Copies of this chain bind each other. A is one copy, B any other.
Amino acid sequence: MPTQEEMKAVLRAYVDGFANDDAESVIALFAEDAVVEDPVGTPEKRGLEEIGKFYRDAVASGAKLTLDGPPRGSQGNGAAMAFTIDLPALNLSIKAVDVFTFDDAGKIAVMRAYWGPDDMKST
């Protein structure tokens, strides 16, 4: 199981990948058979092919993430962070919470994102 510090470093690398327009660095954080539900209530993306496409599109959109406070750990293999997504090209800002479960190798096994229509704002 990854340490709390290792999980939080992954969450920060996830934010940094968007900042650096580096989708591949974000995708490399995920396990081969990872599951992404973004946002919760929409169909899951499963495996690196689907997840890779999702993050390549997201990073290409120009999305930038700003943490709303520090990432949180747990007593197990889970971690979470609250942040704001800015999408300047769409004049949109989204408030989200992402929740992560890690595998023993320290890769993201599951990511579920909490944001809905009411969490988007024109900027």
B-side contacts of A111, CB under 8 Å: none
Alpha-carbon distance A114/B99, docked complex (angstroms): 9
Chain B min CB distance to A19 (Å): 19
Are B114 and A78 interface neighbours, CB within 8 A?
yes
Are B95 and A97 interface neighbours, CB within 8 A?
no
Alpha-carbon distance A72/B121, docked complex (angstroms): 13
B-side contacts of A68, CB under 8 Å: 68-69, 82
| Candidates B75, B113, B119; contact of A116 at CB < 8 Å | B75
B-side contacts of A73, CB under 8 Å: 114-119
Residues of A within 8 A of B (CB): 4-5, 8, 39-42, 68-70, 72-82, 84, 95-97, 99, 112-119
Known: A68-B82, A81-B82, A99-B99. 19 other contacts (CB 8 A): A4-B117, A4-B118, A8-B118, A40-B75, A41-B76, A68-B69, A69-B84, A69-B95, A72-B95, A72-B115, A72-B116, A73-B117, A74-B115, A75-B117, A79-B114, A80-B114, A81-B97, A82-B82, A97-B97
